[in-house]
Amino acid sequence: MSDDHPSSTTTEKHERHEKHEKSWLDKLLHAFSAEPKSRDELLEIIKDAADNQLLDQEALSIIEGALDVSSLQAREIMVPRSHIVAIRIEDSPQEYLPQLIESGHSRFPVIGENIDDVKGILLAKDLLPLALKGTDNFNLETILRPATIIPESKRVNVLLREFRENRYHMALVMDEYGGITGLLTIEDILEEIVGEIEDETDEQEEATDFIKRVSENDYIIKALTPIEDFNEFFGKEFSDEDFDTIGGILMQEFGHLPKRNEVVQMDNMQFRVLYADNRQIHLLRLTILSD
């Protein structure tokens, strides 16, 4: 009898495992056949699958991002008006080329008197043939692409489909009064789904340009600024035991994921959120308050 016991125990464990596996598989299959009654119900079953190692965490994150995108509007993830790099139609190549090179972007709105007067979109690659010819003076309007302008309320998942179907990559966002309030690219939407997409330029900026001074007591700060670098720059002693970045500390201080223009104060420092999406803070304005 003693020889049979280990084999019996192993069989029972295997049967229990199969039963457990079957139960959540049945739940998953049922969810898709009977249609979950809510987004939360669907997410719960997908997370169940991840817990049982049918999905890895990266796949789970992508699914969650895709579901989030379906409920977002353009205003929630657009690059705000103040951060748009635009070219004036009357500028010469000598005036706008340094701006193009410094930004590292590949597409630029071209404007007239102000940013609400959009003439079209310039693709950096369209300048290459002209540069090779050594042409300094030419009419910029001849190489502009049509600008796509969308309302702030545009659903992001609908915009992504239109990006793919119509083969364009940038849209300008307009408010109800006809003013341009921001822009969105296909990359902005994809980052909502798969997370931050970094290229060589992003890496270089993050390594060397976390903090920009804009006036005597005001700074623009990336939320990814390492706490050690922040402390060294401002002479502070914020702890880096629980968080690696200043954005992590501020998330704890807010107690929730803040939206644009929300403010929090720490010591003699006031932090205003300039840009945040539905996952994290990206950009901050720091004002040093007088003692």
Tell me the per-residue pLDDT of 3-40, one tens digit each, with 9 for 90 and over.
555 455 555 555 555 555 555 556 555 555 556 667 77
Tell me the per-residue pLDDT of 129-182, one tens digit each, with 9 for 90 and over.
766 665 556 678 888 999 999 999 999 999 999 999 998 899 999 998 899 999
Beta bridge partners of 121: 109, 145
What mean pLDDT is predicted for residues 57-67? 76
pLDDT of residue 208: 44
| 8 A C-beta contact, residue 76 and residue 278 | yes
Rounded Cα–Cα distance for residues 185 and 194 (Å)? 15
Burial profile 213-234: b = 16 or more Cβ within 10 angstroms, e = fewer: eeeeeebebbbbbebeebeeeb
> pLDDT exceeding 90 applies to what percent of the chain?
26
pLDDT at residue 271 tops 90: yes
Average pLDDT over all residues of the chain: 79
Residue 212 token pair: 């920009």
| 8 A C-beta contact, residue 109 and residue 121 | yes
From edge to edge, which strands make up the β-sheet containing 211-213?
Answer: 211-213, 218-222, 281-288, 269-276, 263-266
Measuring CA to CA, which residue among 268, 74, 260 is closest to residue 172? 74
pLDDT of residue 68: 78
pLDDT of residue 201: 47
